[in-house]
């Protein structure tokens, strides 16, 4: 009896292992098979309280997509990154008084940092009181309920340039940005994003139209990082800026850098082939790939495939599209 016990225990253990192995290799249930792919691709979204911040772009992925295995892997890597919540911090460390002709005003230096890790790519912008005031007015129009309890520093008839008032406003504007950014609908709104990026983009595109490609590129490279952080749920929105960077590098005869940023823009348009930048970008990438001795045939195939599916229409060049951005 004592001799049989170890054998019996061993048999029971083997049977248990067999059952576990069998259950782990059986086909999924009908319910699991019918589960939407977009839901399977990022289950963490179910438990994420900020799930509304993440655009489920995987749901737009066509089942007939012509992506290669490498492209699909890169696409899902990007999707996985979208699941990671990014938050920004706003600091206003200093100010400067500007006297221009008959006007005088205070410029507030805003540093925007990413939380969670050391941020070596912090963004620095400057805004004046009237810029904040315009933002507040615009947000009140669109988000009256959310903005109900948000206070804004009032104008004063005198003392606007005293150290005391300036320091008070520095703290007030810092708290204001932190508070409105904490509201998910506001931080994703065009009006809030424009407040943080539009002046710099307008300047950059003005330089581009004037042929000042070095200056335009310098500004665009500064703003693209902030733009990407603010629009993580909508990566396609940064395509125009990426393409403007491509145009600048190309005109400055930096084909390798132009191709690098072109690939970034193209990766965001994999499932958005009807986007106005898609074909001009493809045509530019074919030219750059040929010049650099890279594979241009796969890009040419994508272009021909698009042409067979779409009616022939007038398509602007990439540069023609870029110079039309932010035209007042």
For the chain, give every domain's residue range.
88-188, 198-323
Minimum mean pLDDT among 72-81, 134-143, 197-206, 257-266: which range? 72-81
Q: Over the stretch 230-253, which tens digit does the pLDDT of each residue have? A: 998 899 999 999 999 999 999 999
Pairwise CA distance, residues 238 & 229, whole Å: 10
Tell me the β-bridge partners of 90: 112
Q: Over the stretch 74-103, which tens digit does the pLDDT of each residue have? A: 665 665 554 455 689 999 999 999 998 888
Q: Quick one: pLDDT at residue 76?
A: 59
Residue 62 has pLDDT above 70, yes or no: no
Residue 298 has pLDDT above 60, yes or no: yes
| Distant-in-sequence, close-in-space partners of 237: CB < 8 Å, separation ≥ 6 | 227, 231
Name the average pLDDT for the chain.
Answer: 81
Name the pLDDT band for 310 (thresholds 50, 70, 90).
Answer: confident
Pairwise CA distance, residues 187 & 183, whole Å: 6
Pairwise CA distance, residues 286 & 288, whole Å: 5
Residue 4 has pLDDT above 70, yes or no: no
- CB 270, CB 234: distance < 8 Å: no
Name the pLDDT band for 296 (thresholds 50, 70, 90).
Answer: very high
Residue 27 has pLDDT above 50, yes or no: no
Pairwise CA distance, residues 322 & 99, whole Å: 33
State the greatest distance between any 2 C-alpha atoms of the chain, in Å, as a whole number.
Answer: 106
Residue 111 has pLDDT above 70, yes or no: yes
Q: Quick one: pLDDT at residue 292?
A: 97
Residue 301 has pLDDT above 90, yes or no: yes
82 or 222, which is more confident:
222
Q: Quick one: pLDDT at residue 297?
A: 94
122 or 140, which is more confident:
140
Name the pLDDT band for 64 (thresholds 50, 70, 90).
Answer: very low
Residue 25 has pLDDT above 60, yes or no: no
Name the pLDDT band for 35 (thresholds 50, 70, 90).
Answer: very low
Q: Quick one: pLDDT at residue 107?
A: 97
Minimum mean pLDDT among 22-26, 69-73, 198-202, 306-310: which range? 22-26
pTM of the model: 0.73
- Mean pLDDT, rounded, for 311-320: 82
What is the CATH architecture of 198-323? Alpha Horseshoe (1.25)
Name the pLDDT band for 15 (thresholds 50, 70, 90).
Answer: low
Topology given in CATH for the domain delimited by 88-188: PX Domain (3.30.1520)
**Full strand arrangement of the beta sheet holding 103-114:** 88-100, 103-114, 123-128
- The residue with tokens 């192995």 is 21
- CB 92, CB 170: distance < 8 Å: yes
């Amino acid at each position: 009896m004592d001799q049989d016990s170890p054998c019996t225990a061993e048999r029971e253990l083997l049977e248990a292992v067999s059952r576990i192995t069998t259950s782990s290799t059986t086909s999924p249930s009908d319910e699991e098979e019918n589960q939407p792919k977009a839901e399977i691709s990022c289950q963490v979204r179910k438990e994420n309280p900020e799930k509304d911040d993440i655009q489920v772009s995987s749901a737009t992925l066509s089942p007939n997509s012509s992506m290669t295995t490498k492209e699909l892997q890169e696409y899902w890597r990007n999707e996985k990154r979208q699941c990671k919540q990014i938050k920004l911090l706003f600091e206003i460390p200093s100010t400067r008084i500007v006297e221009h002709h008959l006007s005088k005003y205070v410029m507030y230096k805003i540093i925007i940092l990413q939380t969670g890790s050391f941020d070596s790519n912090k963004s620095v912008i400057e805004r004046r009181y009237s810029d904040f005031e315009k933002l507040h007015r615009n947000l009140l129009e669109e988000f009256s309920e959310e903005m109900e309890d948000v206070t804004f520093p009032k104008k004063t008839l005198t003392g606007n340039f005293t150290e005391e008032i300036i320091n008070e406003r520095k703290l007030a504007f810092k708290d204001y940005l932190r508070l409105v950014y904490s509201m998910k609908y506001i931080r994703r709104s065009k009006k809030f994003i424009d407040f943080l990026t539009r002046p710099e983009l307008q300047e950059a595109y003005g330089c581009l139209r004037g042929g000042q490609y070095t200056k335009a590129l310098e500004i665009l490279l500064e703003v693209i990082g902030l733009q990407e952080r603010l629009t993580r749920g909508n990566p396609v929105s940064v395509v125009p800026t990426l393409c403007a960077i491509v145009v600048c590098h190309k005109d400055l005869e930096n084909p390798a850098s132009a191709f690098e940023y072109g690939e970034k823009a193209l990766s965001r348009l994999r499932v958005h082939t009807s986007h106005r930048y898609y074909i001009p970008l493809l045509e530019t990438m074919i030219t750059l790939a040929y010049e650099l001795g890279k594979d241009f045939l796969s890009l040419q195939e994508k272009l021909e495939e698009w042409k067979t599916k779409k009616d022939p229409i007038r398509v602007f060049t990439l540069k023609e599209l870029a110079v039309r951005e932010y035209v007042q």
